[in-house]
């Protein structure tokens, strides 16, 4: 089923989750590698690929939020304590907000950097939201990196919550994101 229900995530929400999850983790690793490799003449190429995927992450995150806004959010089990419900809402909101912030800071860095990273896989140029300025580019890059580490911490927290639900509570909350809520009802 494409749409969410009160008990499970639809296939589109799950697809957004897994594609964005893989892209975000990949971008964090790629960004770390890119910033720690020795200076090379092709460094602009690697940064351009990072920017291109970042533009996609931003677009997909916005689309995911729009989809989430017009679909029900599956309910947590009735026995879930209030503090866990609040923690889930806050942590998911923080994941979305920081993902968008990291992507926008990267986009701002692109426009302030010379040359910019506006060429989207060589197909077209992404309009830039800032103007070239070396000091400003460095400030945006520093903040982009700082919030990438914040995003990494939020991803780790999210994975810890997944493990808690799957291995300790055994409440099938985590299984819903792989579509097992239908399998659990069928058996």
Question: Is residue 158 domain-resident?
Answer: yes
Q: Is the pTM of this model over 0.75?
A: yes
Question: Is residue 52 domain-resident?
Answer: yes
Question: Is residue 26 domain-resident?
Answer: yes
Residue 14 above 90 pLDDT? yes
Residue 186 above 70 pLDDT? no
Question: Is residue 88 domain-resident?
Answer: yes
- Average pLDDT taken over every residue of the chain: 94
Q: How confident is the model at residue 119 (pLDDT cuts 50, 70, 90)?
A: very high
Question: Is residue 37 domain-resident?
Answer: yes
Cα(153)–Cα(137) distance, integer angstroms: 24
Question: Is residue 4 domain-resident?
Answer: no
Question: Is residue 1 domain-resident?
Answer: no
| Least confident range of 38-42, 71-75, 91-95 | 38-42
Q: How many CB atoms lie within 10 A of CB 123?
A: 8
Q: How far is CA 168 from the centre of its chain?
A: 26
**CATH number of 151's domain:** 1.20.950
Each residue of 127-136: pLDDT tens digit? Answer: 999 999 999 9
Out of 3-12, 101-110, 178-187, the most confident range is 101-110
Measure the CA angle with vertex 26, ends 133 and 103; round to 5°: 35
Question: Is residue 137 domain-resident?
Answer: yes
Residue 73 above 60 pLDDT? yes
Q: How confident is the model at residue 181 (pLDDT cuts 50, 70, 90)?
A: low
Q: How confident is the model at residue 41 (pLDDT cuts 50, 70, 90)?
A: confident
Each residue of 152-168: pLDDT tens digit? Answer: 999 999 999 999 999 99
Cα(82)–Cα(101) distance, integer angstroms: 28
| pLDDT on residue 16 | 98
**What's the rounded mean pLDDT across residues 121-141?**
98
| pLDDT on residue 38 | 82
Overall domain count for the chain: 1
Residue range of the domain that includes 138? 11-186
């Amino acid at each position: 089923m494409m749409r969410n229900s009160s008990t499970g995530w639809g296939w589109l929400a799950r697809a957004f989750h897994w594609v964005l999850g893989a892209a975000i983790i990949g971008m964090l690793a790629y960004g770390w590698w890119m910033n720690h490799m020795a200076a090379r003449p092709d460094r602009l190429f690697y940064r351009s690929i990072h920017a291109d995927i970042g533009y996609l992450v931003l677009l997909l995150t916005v689309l995911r939020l729009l989809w989430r806004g017009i679909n029900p959010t599956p309910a947590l089990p009735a026995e879930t304590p209030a503090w866990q419900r609040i923690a889930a809402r806050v942590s998911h909101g923080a994941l979305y907000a920081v993902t968008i912030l990291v992507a926008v800071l990267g986009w701002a860095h692109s426009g302030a950097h010379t040359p910019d990273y506006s060429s989207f896989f060589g197909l077209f140029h992404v309009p830039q939201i800032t103007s070239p300025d070396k000091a400003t580019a460095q400030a945006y890059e520093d903040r982009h990196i700082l919030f990438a580490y914040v995003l990494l911490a939020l991803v780790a927290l999210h994975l810890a919550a997944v493990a808690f639900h799957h291995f300790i509570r055994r409440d099938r909350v985590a299984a819903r994101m792989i579509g097992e809520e239908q399998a659990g009802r069928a058996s």
